[in-house]
Amino acid sequence: MQSKLPNVGTTIFTVMSKMAQDHNAIDLSQGFPDFDCPAALRDRVTHHLNDRRNQYAPAIGIPELREQIAIKVEQLYACRVDPDHEVTVTAGATEALFDVIQAVVHRDDEVILFDPAYDSYAPAIELAGGRAVRIPMTVPDYQIPWERAAEAITERTRLIIINSPHNPAGSVLQREDLDRLAGLIRDRNILVLSDEVYEHMVFDGDRHHSVLTHEELREKSFAVFSFGKTYHATGWKLAYCVAPAPLSVELRKVHQFVTFTATSFIQYAIADFMRDCPEHHLELPAFYQQKRDRFCELLGDSRFTFTASAGTYFQCLDYSAISDQSDVEFVQHLTREVGVAAIPLSAFYAEAPDTRIVRFCFCKDESTLERAAEKLCRL
Ligand SMILES: Cc1ncc(COP(=O)(O)O)c(C=O)c1O
């Protein structure tokens, strides 16, 4: 059979997590916590499971959950959204991203994205028959080069994908970046897909600048968020997309035939938890900043060099003082010989720059971070 994605292999996250397991290495590769989600949330899940919430939920998500999402979005971003027409619940952010791209991108359309880029974007564009125009971010601060983005715009540009806080780089966009983006697409038929799954992981007193806070961008954007990240429950695959009603209509056309709906009892549980424990997400920046600080402190005596991440639960480390290997060789060596798994940054590039940088995930218990750092400091 002729492949529709001839250049796509198995995602690096699966490859590295498997290698970590095979070699019994501490897994700081794929982004998932090794601590559990809140007990009160698990209680609500079992409650609704036993309460027989086990049949199809409405395709766009249960009203109780969309209502809570609308309340949260208004509180956080001063943005009023209509839960019936502007909020769509999906089976993970991965599904929302896929649905948006299929809904918007026509054959031969161009989509601008910035490398390093989360690895689900480009294959989704290819499946839609579009072309990814990949612009490298600046190194080592991982900012968007807006001049280059402006030069890349053509008559065929249909969508620009941004991601802040940024996986894998850990950088965050500022208000000025949103202004630049708005200026770029003004009076053009171009939409924005804003991947904001790490919205609650912004550090050092900064805050997350959502496209929903920007009046002009909000009208042209799909903003994607993930409950998996926010509630330490990546395996539940529950997320949502906020977009103006006409855009949501198109998104929902695709969503209904990709998954139709997301798991019902989990939707009820999260709706309850959002209502009863709204403080949970407000505590996340401090919770994760403490982990970032601890991880960086532990690596203070290592030969890695780094700037502390401004957001996400990832920390990039430069290993050029340790090895000349490529980043893929280096993470293989780390996993097999050192006993710590990480992700090579080149996996997120069309054409990787000549850097020696790998990504570590710090959403782990302190003891895990300590054990990993001890090994890394021996290098
Ligand atoms: C930038 C980014 N977008 C989207 C996703 C996917 O989120 P979900 O697990 O909700 O599908 C991830 C998960 O790691 C991510 O890092």
119 in the same domain as 20:
no
Geometric angle at alpha carbon 159, from 256 and 169, rounded to 5°: 100
Query: Which of 27, 37, 94 maximizes ligand 1 atoms within 8 Å of its Cβ, making it the mutation to test the pocket?
Result: 94
Q: Is residue 106 assigned to a domain?
A: yes
pLDDT higher than threshold 90 for residue 347: yes
Q: Within this chain, do residues 82 and 166 fall inside the same structural domain, yes or no? A: yes
CATH number of residue 303's parent domain: 3.90.1150.10
Within-domain flag for 43:
yes
Of the pLDDT bands very low, low, confident and very high (cuts 50, 70, 90), residue 360 is very high
Instruction: Flag whether 286 is in a domain.
Output: yes
Give yes or no: residues 204 and 325 share one domain: no
User: What is the rounded average pLDDT of the residues 325-332?
Assistant: 96
Higher pLDDT, 13 or 166: 166
What dihedral angle (degrees, nearest 10) is formed by the CA atoms of 40, 314, 141, 190? -60
When pLDDT is averaged across residues 353-373 and rounded to a whole number, the result is: 96
Q: Is there an atom of ligand 1 within 6 Å of 264 CB?
A: no
Peptide bond into 140 cis (omega under 30): yes
pLDDT(212) > 90: yes
- Which has the closest alpha carbon to 218: 264, 181, 255, 249? 181
At 333, the pLDDT band (50, 70, 90 cuts) reads: very high
Last residue of a domain, one of 210, 244, 276: 276
For the record, the structure tokens of 308 come out as 């502390």
Residue 6 lies in a domain: no
Confidence of residue 200 (pLDDT cuts 50, 70, 90): very high
Does residue 92 line the site of ligand 1, with CB under 6 A?
A: yes
How many angstroms separate the CA atoms of 165 and 246, rounded?
A: 27
**Can you state the angle between helices 63-77 and 264-276, rounded to 10 degrees?**
40
CA 14 to ligand 1 centroid distance, Å: 13
Please determine, for residue 323, whether its predicted confidence score (pLDDT) is greater than 90.
yes
d(CA 32, CA 233): 8
pTM for the predicted model, two decimal places? 0.98
CATH value at residue 121: 3.40.640.10
Q: Are residues 248 and 303 in the same domain?
A: no
| 226 lies in the same domain as 295 | no
Which tens digit of pLDDT belongs to each residue from 215-248? Answer: 999 999 999 999 999 999 999 999 999 999 999 9
Average pLDDT over residues 277-286: 96
* Residue 13 confidence (pLDDT) above 90: no
CA distance 316 to 304: 10
Q: How far apart are alpha carbons 80 and 117 in whole angstroms?
A: 30
31 and 43 belong to one structural domain: no
User: What mean pLDDT is reported for the chain?
Assistant: 97
CA 256–ligand 1 middle distance (angstroms) = 20
| Alpha carbon of 237 to ligand 1 centroid (Å) | 9
Would 4 be classed as within a structural domain? no
294 and 271 co-located in one domain: no
Per-residue confidence (pLDDT) for residue 11, from 0 to 100: 86
For residue 124, being part of any structural domain is answered with yes
The pLDDT value recorded for residue 327 is 96
Tell me: pLDDT of 315 over 90: yes
Q: What mean pLDDT is predicted for residues 345-371?
A: 96
**Ligand 1 neighbour 239 (Cβ under 6 A):** yes
> Where in the sequence is the domain holding 312, given as residue range(s)?
12-37+280-377
Q: Which ligand 1 atom sits closest to the C-alpha of 166?
A: 1
Same domain for 172 and 92: yes
Q: Is 163 in the pocket of ligand 1 (CB under 6 A)?
A: yes
The answer, yes or no, to whether residue 101 has pLDDT greater than 90, is yes
Residues 245 and 305 grouped into a single domain = no
In the chain the first and final C-alpha atoms are separated, in Å, by 46
If one counts the domains in the chain, the total is 2
Task: For residues 264 and 162, state if they share a domain.
Answer: yes
228 Cβ closer than 6 Å to some ligand 1 atom: yes
Q: What is the DSSP string of 16-52?
A: HHHHHHHTT-EE-SS---SSPPPHHHHHHHHHHHHTT
In a domain, 5, yes or no: no
Structure tokens belonging to residue 242: 């906020």
Q: What is the mean pLDDT of residues 260-282?
A: 97
In this model, does residue 109 exceed pLDDT 90?
Answer: yes
Of 12, 32, 11, 48, residue with least CA distance to 328: 12
The answer to whether residues 264 and 332 belong to one domain is no
Instruction: Measure 3 CA to ligand 1 centroid, in angstroms.
Output: 25
Which of 217, 131, 137 is closest to 180 using CA atoms?
A: 217
Percentage of residues in the chain having pLDDT higher than 70: 100
Ligand 1: does its nearest atom lie under 6 Å from the Cβ of 344? no
Do 320 and 220 share a structural domain? no
Give SS3 for 149. Answer: helix
Q: Is residue 15 over pLDDT 90?
A: no
Q: Closest Cα to residue 241, out of 128, 350, 81? A: 81
| The last residue of a domain, from among 276, 310, 340 | 276
Does the pLDDT at position 336 exceed 90?
yes
Q: Which residue among 276, 307, 334 closes a domain?
A: 276
